[in-house]
Amino acid sequence: MVHYLFFREIFESSYSLKKCSVDRHHVICESPLLQAAKENNIPAIRKLLIDGTCDIYQRGATGETALHVAALYNSVEAAVALMEAAPELVLFLCFTGQTALHIAAVNQNIALVKALLKRGANICTAQATGHFFRRSSQNLLYFGEHVLSFAACVGNEEIVQLLIENGADIRAQDYLGNTVLHILVLQPNKTFACHMYSLILSYDRNKEGPGSLELIPNNEGLTPFKLAGVEGNTVMFQYLMQKRKHNLWSFGPLTTVLYDLTEIDSWAEDQSFLELIVSTKKREARQILDLTPVKELVSLKWNMYGRPYFCFLALFYVLYMVCFTMCCVYRPLKARTGNKTSSRDNTIYVQKMLQESYITYEDELRLVGELITVIGAVVILILEIPDILRVGAAKYFGQTILGGPFHIIVITYACMILVTMVMRLTSTTGEVVPMSFALVLGWCNVMYFARGFQMLGPFTIMIQKMIFGDLMRFCWLMAVVILGFASAFYIIFQTENPENLGQFYNYPMSLFTTFELFLTIIDGPANYDVDLPFMYSVVYFSFAVIATLLMLNLLIAMMGDTHWRVAHERDELWRAQVVATTVMLERKLPRCLWPRSGICGREYGLGDRWYLRVEDRVDPNKHKMMRYTEAFKAHDRDNCDKGPEKLEIDSNILYKKELPALSLSRNTSRMNSHSGWEILRRNTFHSIHGEVNHAMEEEVYDV
């Protein structure tokens, strides 16, 4: 199956995958040379070449030569015979750039790799550019384009060393700008990826300089370290951090370590590592926020500068909104002088003209508040617009952690303030409309500052998810139901006397009344002093069952499910909110108000890089537990080698969820203690090897 996959790069051709697979099989079977290369039939190959009955350069349905087929099926002797007969076959490409060396590297055929390199195989410029080798959700693997990245991704150390020693470029980048280190970060097998990462980096001659292989960004501006954070690769992140740390001293269980903050600290980074983590859609990335030294760095920034500034900003905003509200409450009004044109007209005050609005001392006080309000709206736009241009509107408004909906609210609020100002200056009537919107939006934005508190922060995310998730989907269903039943109610009362119709005397009022009925704000609004049409009772009964009994409870259930999902992530969501808020404040405030966190490396002779000093206590019990686990590794590995039937029996016994009856006898207590240690041992062993551990479902009563 793996062999077949590497000819699927013909996705770019006009053939479908199924047709090309069949064509390739038929061509190989019908071509004696390709069939001989597949079966490693050396006499047949030599006979065909001597007779001259076939073309040694012939290609199959997907553009493969006989050498590609030999490499695909690990026919080393056939490949050597073909290369001796036609050395230029080594440089022949498949349909989209794949060479025999690519195939040999993926198959980990060291003998064939050596034979190809000996005969001048192209290492540096050969690139597999087919759709199958590109990074996408449809493809099951991503190995890059170059031979070196192919070999590194399959984890063959000998082939990687052989390629580098023969001139492979460790700095080569694919169409995404990814180097081999970027590609290793994206591999699912994280253990060998870390090993290969270290091996390839050992060949970098400029490890510590500005041109280091680790500092080469891809097309998105991400280095391998930042890419590990964006992808939520905690194993690679911890591995890279262990390489960057410097032990200062140890005293018993206490250890002091300096962690390199290069690429982590957002103080001097245009594309902050912390901002990348909280803005990615992968939940695994947020787990990095709980790892050293990110956890300590965020805690230091938040407690020293972030929390005080954020609380001051929240207080300042509330006072600002109080000022704006007072200006609205005491807006310039005068008594109405004209006559009423309708009995339903209830207006007694109207808006003053601009010349009449600022005469008295109270008007001048209100003018000061209005100037503060307008200046605040302009400042909001000045602070928000650059971030929109820098991040992009979709990402800026779409990320819940970054406060996306609140950015929409505050920008709309500022625009409403400016619209109100223009209407006031031009004496245009109707300023109450933008003013009302501004009041609602401005006070709703106060919820944004709840993210500064651990108890309230996750609830703002719940509200956002319910509004933009559950409620938006529910509104479509609600609109359909209201439209249908409102039309039915209007048709039923269409032939009745308009003076006795209650709330259904016209179609717009029928829509509004049905909306009120849907939300159970009012009861059936028909006029019961007269005879009602029979169909009204039928329609009203069905509406009550569908709208009130079914759909409202559906909305409650949907919101309950959202609450349950967010509640399970509340701690990590709040940490992400704190990081996003800290980075936002750090970008907005002047440098004099937010000094750089950490210690300059010059104090310890480590250059100009900045470090964070972390003191840690090593728990000796943890090491004892690890040694205890190591002692049983061989036994557990032997169990994995058992036959299927025996393994199935053992697993049934191993994961049986039958709790023993409680007893106070010494023997029973000793058995329970042994059972508890057995569960802990299995749990630790399986978590080390990344296996699913059903023993987690068992409860430990005695240890």
Domains in the chain, please, with CATH? 2-241 (1.25.40.20), 460-571 (1.10.287), 620-697 (no CATH)
Pull the structure tokens for residue 488. Answer: 């039915």
Q: What is the pLDDT of residue 633?
A: 52
Q: Coil, helix or strand for 345? A: coil
Residue the block writes with tokens 């018993």: 252
How far is Cα 672 from Cα 417, in angstroms, rounded to an integer? 70
Q: What is the pLDDT of residue 12?
A: 39
Ordered alpha helix ranges (H), 64-179 = 66-72, 76-85, 100-106, 110-118, 147-154, 157-165
Residues 425, 393: contact at Cβ < 8 Å?
no
How far is Cα 264 from Cα 268, in angstroms, rounded to an integer? 9
Q: At what angle do helices 666-688 and 633-640 cross, to 10 degrees?
A: 70
How far is Cα 90 from Cα 103, in angstroms, rounded to an integer? 12
Q: What is the pLDDT of residue 228?
A: 92
Tell me the average confidence (pLDDT) per consecutive run of 10 residues in the chain, 703 residues long.
41 39 48 80 80 74 79 85 81 77 88 87 80 79 88 90 89 90 91 90 75 87 91 90 85 84 80 83 85 88 89 94 94 80 75 86 91 94 86 74 80 94 90 93 90 78 79 86 89 77 78 85 71 82 85 86 80 82 85 82 81 77 54 52 44 40 40 48 51 43 37
Q: What is the pLDDT of residue 224?
A: 92
Q: What is the pLDDT of residue 548?
A: 78
How far is Cα 55 from Cα 48, in angstroms, rounded to an integer? 9
Q: Go through the chain and tell me how many residues it has.
A: 703
Q: Cβ neighbours of residue 87 under 8 Å, at least 6 residues apart?
A: 119, 120
Q: What is the pLDDT of residue 615?
A: 82
Beta pairing, strands 610-617 & 254-260: antiparallel
Residue 245: HSE in the Cβ half-sphere, 13 Å Cα cutoff: 22
- Kindly write down the DSSP assignment for every residue of 592-615, as one continuous string: GGSPPPSEEGGGGT-TT-EEEEEE
How far is Cα 482 from Cα 26, in angstroms, rounded to an integer? 62
Residues 106, 6: contact at Cβ < 8 Å?
yes
Q: What is the pLDDT of residue 368?
A: 94
Q: What is the pLDDT of residue 419?
A: 95
Q: What is the pLDDT of residue 626?
A: 54
